[in-house]
Amino acid sequence: MIALILRRLIQAPLILLAVYTITFALAWALPGSAIIRDEGRRPPEAVLAAMESRYNLDSAPTFYVQYLARATGVKWLIEQAKGADGHVPDRVFDLGPSLRYEDWSVNDLLAGTLPVSLILGFSAVAIALFLGLAAGILGSIKPRSLLDAATLALALIGVSLPSFVIGTVLLLVFPVWLGWGRVGSWGSPTDLILPALTLALPFAAYIARLTRLGMIEALNSDYARTARAKGVPQRTIVLTHALKNAFLPVLSYLGPATSFAVTGSFVVESVFNVPGLGRHFVSAVQNKDLFVIMGVTLVFSAILVTFNLAVDILYRWVDPRIE
Amino acid sequence: MRRFALALLILAALLAGLVATQRNTAPRADFTYLEVQDIHTLDPQRMSYQQDMRLAYALFEGLVRWDTQSEDFHVVPALAKSWETSQDRTTYTFHLRAEARWSNNDPVRASDFLYAWRRAMTPDTAADYSALFFRIKGAEEFFRWRTEQLAAYAARPDSEKSREAAATLSREADEQFRKLVALEAPDDHTLIVTLVRPTAYFLDLCAFASFLPVHPANVERFVTADPRTGARRQDSGWTRPDHLITNGPYILRDWKFKRELLLERSTTYTGPATPRSNLIRMLPIGEPNTAVLAYATGSADWISDVNVDYIPELIEQTKRGERTDFHAFNSFGTYFWNFNCAERFPDGSPNPLHDPRVRRAFALAIKKSDLTDLVRRRGESPRDTLIPPGSIAGYHSPKGLPYDPARAKRELADAGWTLHDGAAPTDSSGREFPVVTMLVPGTPAHHVDTALTLGRMWEETLGVRTRVEVKDTKSIKADLTRRSYMTSRAIWFGDYGDPVSFLDINRSTDGNNDRAFNSPRYDSLLDQAEREPDPAARLKLLEEAERILVEEEVPLIPLYAMMEFQFFPKNVTGLSSHPRRVQYLWQLGINRDSPESREPPAQAGGQAPPPSTNDNAALLLPLPLGEGRGEGFTLLGLSSTPTIPLFFFPERIP
């Protein structure tokens, strides 16, 4: 276990460096200028040149190295070691300014939006887990029954309907027609329900399918039959004996699902006006806001690497047989 | 199982903790409005977006402001209680209100204006509007001097670059500013400005956001000298609620990025701008449809810019009397179509649109009323000029080109193209007219509709083949800059109440001349106007310049008046209907005594405005509209689904 964690911790910086390099190459190659606005009055050439040199946008290698040094805290360490006053960056991990939203640094943006994305993502996964497991178990108890067909149909809808349709319909039904909740605000726990539900549905559907298959297999297995023969109540067999084994594939799916729910909720964030990170990332690419693209990518990939590690550890904890 | 339950419990506790940190404890605002565009900056010298300026006018008070409720949009005293102009109309002496205070109780001094305006004139600040300050004597020279000084510094060897050297540079620049720029503050309450030459719209400029003062110590705390470039580096942070010092009717109480912004009535402000609402809340909602739903469910009192694809249906509902809270206004902008006027494309092939006769032919082939009435159905009026007619006092717009298919064909034939039935025109050597490409962004979808319509009109009248090219705005901008396009959609809004605000984008040397338009005659008319001391004669010269632009050279085809669509119920007061589209937030409020009263929005003074006689003032619905129904709306540019929301949401839940 320790060896696994150590190995992963050594791998992580290399993975992050690779992600950083590829993202940098792609972002640098995006068409258009990072500074010139798409619309509105264009400032004098001297101003544009000054901005390019200020942000190192006139030289790709300089930008690559300088940004990496600042974002990873290397620059901070070097300046700290030199001991020169006033040269030490304010932040250990300085992800740079936003070129588009000039009053905010990428650190500010992340501080404001990452918690929102985390809440939304984790809530969605929690809802997905609850709905998915419940639907999967119900469906597996009597396969090919009406209940099974109903949960399967729901799962199919959850997988195939895009979030912007589900989101818009939910918005219309609850806040607009029934007057439950608010539209476009964030700040009370109830604001979380609809976006989390919308984000959860595709995951719930997939979890339901995984659970149902695993449960049917487990309930037909020898140990389940033995337990039944020994007079163990059906409830205990389903919830304790079968579910424990059926849950393993769900657990391995939870890693990527959680990281996707946390980082990939652009559509849900737009429809419900959730002030999360996903929207920044997409709009940063559209605006060629290099600092935001690089900063958010680094943080996103760090999250992904962490979740994958967490799931690996959890996996071994649940099933010690797995090497 | 127990382990699993434990893990879930930990997750739930974590979530609860996180949710708790997100709680919103702010009190209910007196007035809430929605912006569909994000706030980019609250730094007055750097801003260039309408939504940013709206906030700046609430936070800061300039020398003068506009009377947004008046028909001529004239300038009235704000921080300057009075001013005099010299005989030759080049020197302005402003007298500032002695009792004016910043929100930290510091007195507002004339030198604060010097500081703010110097920021705008310094290339380091990277102000989009630095050129507006070049009306002031010495400003352009100072800008150039500083640019050269920084270039010389950049050329130094690394050993001669340091924070101290950069700071010295900055001090030299301050010295140079005092020497070169004709701005003086003889005492704390007097500001003397000398202009290069008489400028009729200088007071109008003084009301503009770039000319607002800032608190020098507030800004200076976040400025560092950059040892690498030698420039003064403005770090973000001075506009944050805990730092920002303002002199306007409001202070910035809270600002959460892309979540909300709260303005609170300032206790130190004693000027003439009396706020109607004590607490104003701004919610940014980027998805237009969500913004409309938020308004419909009572989350906001005003949407400043409705940009949904079902506007034609909203107009229909308003016409039928089913809706009273949807409003359309002409704005100080024009939607037009760009021609690439360069002689050759970047790949070296000749550009047929270089010939003004060809461009005229394309302009004459367009029936603008069909575009606005049958295709767009948003109540926009067709335009034949770049400058909104009637929007600038004393300026008489030229006629522009009409719809004349016969003349269009003649013009194209005159340019050496032989027209054929059912085939593209050919030149004398038998070469076909190249496929006319039309560059548009994909969202909102109506740009594509407009391009398809124009393309069809050109195909039918001139026989040319056309192709719509949908790209993202960054790529479009890059193509325009490289001149690697044939035609493209464009929009321009005037910044100040003078024809030059529209006309200078077509100067051959201007950075906004996306058209590669190069007409010595046009440039020289603008130069003559620049030198002309007599205001009436100056306007005549500018009229002639615009006539050349829209009737002879035609680097662009004006199509229709830009409109602004808004939602607000009848009890919202203080909104201006003037096409300049400036709304002072301190004038806005809700008439709580008579909710949903039928009275029109009242003026700042409390009386109803006089009935409008200006063509460009409030365009009151119902509008003349064509027949036809909307096909669908695009959400997030991903898909087209039927217009569900519109027909089901109630007008407004009070």
State CA B72 to chain mean position distance: 19
Taking the C-alpha atoms of residue A142 and residue A144, their distance in angstroms, rounded to an integer, is 6
pLDDT for A147: 87
Degrees to nearest 5, angle at CA B616 with B613 and B617? 60
pLDDT for B344: 95
Q: Which residues of B287-313 are buried (b: 16+ CB within 10 A; e: fewer)?
A: bbbbbbbbbbbbbbbbbbbbbbbbbbb
- Whether residue B615 is predicted with pLDDT greater than 50 in this model: the reply is no
Cβ neighbours of B613 (radius 10 Å) = 7
Q: How does DSSP classify residue B586? A: G
Q: Strand B250-256 to strand B232-234: parallel, antiparallel, or no bridges (unpaired)?
A: unpaired
- Whether residue B649 is predicted with pLDDT greater than 60 in this model: the reply is no
pLDDT for A247: 86
- Whether residue B226 is predicted with pLDDT greater than 90 in this model: the reply is no
The amino acid present at B457, given as its one-letter code, is M
Q: Which residue's structure tokens are 């704390």?
A: B188
Q: Strand B190-194 to strand B183-187: parallel, antiparallel, or no bridges (unpaired)?
A: antiparallel
Coil, strand or helix: which one is B340?
A: coil
Find out whether B363 and B310 touch, Cβ atoms under 8 Å.
no
Report in angstroms the alpha-carbon separations of A283 from A266, B37, B286: 10, 12, 11
Taking the C-alpha atoms of residue B602 and residue B608, their distance in angstroms, rounded to an integer, is 4
The two three-digit tokens of residue A154, written as one number: 């729901």
Taking the C-alpha atoms of residue B356 and residue A215, their distance in angstroms, rounded to an integer, is 76
Taking the C-alpha atoms of residue B256 and residue A276, their distance in angstroms, rounded to an integer, is 12
Express each pLDDT in A215-235 by its tens digit.
998 888 898 889 889 988 888
pLDDT for B357: 97
Q: How does DSSP classify residue B361? A: H
Find out whether A272 and A193 touch, Cβ atoms under 8 Å.
no
Taking the C-alpha atoms of residue B460 and residue B81, their distance in angstroms, rounded to an integer, is 60
Q: A-contacting residues of B 221-260, CB under 8 Å?
A: 226, 228-229, 231, 233, 236-237, 239-240, 256-260
Residues counted in chain B: 654
Residue of chain B with shortest Cα separation from A244: B1
Helices (H), B262-404: 288-296, 311-319, 356-364, 368-370
Q: Which residue's structure tokens are 């839940």?
A: B653
pLDDT for B95: 98
What are the φ and ψ backbone dihedral angles of B273, each rounded to 5 degrees?
-85, 95
CB contact under 8 A, A183 and B290: yes
- Whether residue B560 is predicted with pLDDT greater than 90 in this model: the reply is yes
Candidates B482, B215, B193; CA nearest to B344 is B482
A140-144, B270-274, B389-393 — which one is most confidently predicted on average? Answer: B270-274
Taking the C-alpha atoms of residue A198 and residue A166, their distance in angstroms, rounded to an integer, is 6
Taking the C-alpha atoms of residue B645 and residue B654, their distance in angstroms, rounded to an integer, is 19
Coil, strand or helix: which one is A86?
A: coil
Candidates B165, B118, B156; CA nearest to B139 is B118
Candidates B654, B652, B634, B640; CA nearest to B311 is B634
| Percent of chain B clearing pLDDT 90 (strictly above) | 70
The beta-carbon neighbor of A38 closest among B14, B237, B474 is: B474
Taking the C-alpha atoms of residue B416 and residue B357, their distance in angstroms, rounded to an integer, is 10
Q: Where are the beta strands (DSSP E) in A98-140?
A: none
What are the φ and ψ backbone dihedral angles of B154, each rounded to 5 degrees?
-60, -30
- Whether residue B7 is predicted with pLDDT greater than 70 in this model: the reply is no
Candidates A250, A243, A255; CA nearest to A312 is A255
Q: How does DSSP classify residue B610? A: P
Express each pLDDT in B139-153 by its tens digit.
999 999 999 999 999
Report in angstroms the alpha-carbon separations of B165 from A84, B115, B153, B219, B228: 16, 22, 9, 21, 10
Taking the C-alpha atoms of residue B270 and residue B263, their distance in angstroms, rounded to an integer, is 17
Q: In which band, very low, low, confident or very high, does the pLDDT at B18 lie, cut at 50, 70 and 90?
A: low
Through-space distance between the first and last CA atoms of chain A, rounded to whole angstroms: 9
Taking the C-alpha atoms of residue B20 and residue A188, their distance in angstroms, rounded to an integer, is 9
To the nearest whole Å, the CA of A38 is away from the closest chain B CA by 6
Which contiguous run of DSSP H or E holds residue A76?
helix A74-82
State CA B194 to chain mean position distance: 28
What are the φ and ψ backbone dihedral angles of A130, each rounded to 5 degrees?
-65, -55
Chain B partners within 8 Å of A161 (Cβ): none
pLDDT for B542: 97
DSSP 3-state helix, strand, coil percentages of chain B (rounded to 5)?
Answer: 35, 20, 45
CB contact under 8 A, A33 and B231: no
Find out whether A182 and A193 touch, Cβ atoms under 8 Å.
no
Question: Rounded to the nearest 10 degrees, what angle do helices A193-219 and A243-263 cross at?
Answer: 150
Express each pLDDT in B102-118 by its tens digit.
999 999 999 999 999 99
Coil, strand or helix: which one is B327?
A: strand
State ipTM: 0.87
State CA A274 to chain mean position distance: 14
- Counting as low any pLDDT under 70, the low residues of chain A are 83-88, 264, 322-323
Coil, strand or helix: which one is B584?
A: coil
To the nearest whole Å, the CA of B97 is away from the closest chain A CA by 30
The per-residue DSSP string of A264-295 comes to --HHHHHHHT---HHHHHHHHHHHT-HHHHHH
The two three-digit tokens of residue B543, written as one number: 């009229």
The two three-digit tokens of residue B634, written as one number: 């695009």
What are the φ and ψ backbone dihedral angles of B3, each rounded to 5 degrees?
-60, -40
Q: In which band, very low, low, confident or very high, does the pLDDT at B614 lie, cut at 50, 70 and 90?
A: very low
The amino acid present at B515, given as its one-letter code, is R
Mean pLDDT of B562-576: 93
Chain B partners within 8 Å of A179 (Cβ): 297, 653
Taking the C-alpha atoms of residue A237 and residue A224, their distance in angstroms, rounded to an integer, is 7
Sheet architecture: strand order including B91-96: B80-85, B91-96, B190-194, B183-187
Q: A-contacting residues of B 155-184, CB under 8 Å?
A: 163
pLDDT for B19: 64
Taking the C-alpha atoms of residue B358 and residue B341, their distance in angstroms, rounded to an integer, is 10
Q: In which band, very low, low, confident or very high, does the pLDDT at B491 lie, cut at 50, 70 and 90?
A: very high
CB contact under 8 A, A101 and B257: yes
Cβ neighbours of B323 (radius 10 Å) = 17
State CA A86 to chain mean position distance: 37
Taking the C-alpha atoms of residue B552 and residue B530, their distance in angstroms, rounded to an integer, is 22
Taking the C-alpha atoms of residue A272 and residue A176, their distance in angstroms, rounded to an integer, is 13
Query: Which sign, positive or negative, has the C-alpha torsion B458, B462, B463, B466?
Result: negative
Taking the C-alpha atoms of residue A145 and residue A156, their distance in angstroms, rounded to an integer, is 16
Compute the mean pLDDT over every residue in chain B, rounded to the nearest whole number: 87
CB-based contact, B41 to chain A, within 8 Å: yes
Candidates A50, A46, A51, A56; CA nearest to A35 is A51
Express each pLDDT in B399-458 by its tens digit.
999 999 999 999 999 999 999 988 899 999 999 999 999 999 988 889 999 999 999 999
Three state DSSP letters for B226-294: CCCCCCEEECCCCCCCCCCCCCCCEEEEEEECCCEEEEEECCCCCCCCCCCCCEEEEEECCCHHHHHHH
State CA B566 to chain mean position distance: 16
What are the φ and ψ backbone dihedral angles of A98, each rounded to 5 degrees?
-90, 130
CB contact under 8 A, A175 and B478: no
The two three-digit tokens of residue A169, written as one number: 């319909």
pLDDT for B63: 97
Which contiguous run of DSSP H or E holds residue B410?
helix B405-414
The beta-carbon neighbor of B154 closest among A53, A270, A272 is: A53
Taking the C-alpha atoms of residue B324 and residue B104, their distance in angstroms, rounded to an integer, is 43
**Residue of B46, B208, B290, B510 to mutate, testing the A interface (most A Cβ within 10 Å of its Cβ):** B290
Taking the C-alpha atoms of residue B559 and residue B577, their distance in angstroms, rounded to an integer, is 22
Chain B partners within 8 Å of A171 (Cβ): 290, 293
Q: In which band, very low, low, confident or very high, does the pLDDT at B630 lie, cut at 50, 70 and 90?
A: very low
Question: What number of C-beta contacts closer than 8 Å exist between A and B?
Answer: 228
- Whether residue B595 is predicted with pLDDT greater than 70 in this model: the reply is no
pLDDT for B386: 97
Chain B partners within 8 Å of A175 (Cβ): 293, 297
Helices (H), B126-208: 139-154, 163-180, 202-206
β-bridge partners, B432: B426
Find out whether B58 and B263 touch, Cβ atoms under 8 Å.
yes
The beta-carbon neighbor of A270 closest among B236, B256, B286 is: B286
